[in-house]
Amino acid sequence: MNSTQGMWYDRRMVETVPKNFEEFKAVSADLSVKGIAGMTYPGMYADYNVWALIMPAVAAYGEDFFKDVAMGKPEAFQDERFKAVMQRYKEYCDAGYLLKGSTSADHTTSQLNWLNGKAGFITNGLWLEAEMSDYIPEGFEMAFCASPLLEKDQKPTLVVHANNLAVSSQTKNLDNALAFLRFIYRDDVQLEYMSKYSYLSALTSLDYEDAELTDVARDTLDYFNSGEVNIVNCNVSWSSLLNNTFKQVINDVSSGVMTVEEACNLLTADAKR
């Protein structure tokens, strides 16, 4: 299956969906006047912000630059484009739009805070509706959009990840393993996964119109396929060390204890290891 991450919001609360950073600040400022934080995220899993906010904004500068960052090339973290994305994120946090306590929240706490109207936006994946289905308040109108940490002339971008499977040629049960792969990639099984968890099928030949989707999931997939957003595939990954460093950077920048320059230098240093 394929998946992506971005920003979720309640249509009743957010009437104008932000497509760039200036609009994101304006919407968050309006929410702040009402006593509502602009956004929240699970600081215990800060990579939600990496892949829902930062990396899609990086990808908006082009697929080649995105791959340089995604592959953990040290020089990419010193690039002015990467620093610009991080500066926008820091500016947003420094303005006080982030829900207090976000940096220490787990994913369930952050999601409940969002569902209870404490924040306008939350970074999360396509699975959010299914995961929180028992807790969604009546009348809540979930909707999904791409990262708004963009310059005015940039097009919203989503980064798509594939969950890949492989079978070892040396396995003792090769026939059974291959049969299992053929099973999970059957059209009916893929449609069931889409219906239950709102994931994107890896089968380009499959029509999601045939899936039994909720209105939220169908609207999200319509948005994904609408042409309103660029789609960038991520088929590379960085080291676990760099991933942990990025999570630390997100929380430290969010808390105001790290500058963008310090963040980029730390990422560069760990990328060289």
Query: Which pLDDT value is given to residue 163?
Result: 73
Which tokens sit at 155? 């097009």
- Rounded Cα–Cα distance for residues 28 and 96 (Å): 10
The per-residue DSSP string of 48-87 comes to: HHIIIIIHHHHHTT-HHHHHHHHTT-GGGGGSHHHHHHHH
Give the E-state strand segments of the chain in sequence order: 2-10, 37-40, 119-125, 142-145, 157-162, 230-234
Rounded to whole angstroms, how far apart are CA atoms 250 and 241?
14
Q: What is the pLDDT of residue 165?
A: 81
The rounded distance, in Å, linking the Cα atoms of 132 and 129 is: 5
Share the mean pLDDT of the chain: 94
Q: Which percentage of the chain shows pLDDT scores above 90? A: 80
Residue 200, pLDDT > 90, answer no
This prediction has a pTM of 0.93
Q: Per-residue pLDDT tens for 223-232?
A: 998 999 999 9
Quick check: 195 pLDDT over 90? Answer: no
> What pLDDT does residue 136 have?
97
- The distance from CA 179 to its chain's CA centroid, rounded to whole angstroms, is 33
- What does the pLDDT look like over 8-59, one tens digit per residue? 999 999 999 999 999 999 999 999 999 999 999 999 999 999 999 999 999 9
Residue 153 has pLDDT above 80, yes or no: yes
- Over residues 112-133, the mean pLDDT reads 96
Residue 63 has what pLDDT? Answer: 95
pLDDT at residue number 236: 78
- Per-residue confidence band for 177, with pLDDT thresholds at 50, 70 and 90: very high
Which 8-state DSSP code applies to residue 110?
Answer: H
pLDDT at 267 over 90: yes
The Cα–Cα gap between 54 and 199 comes to 21
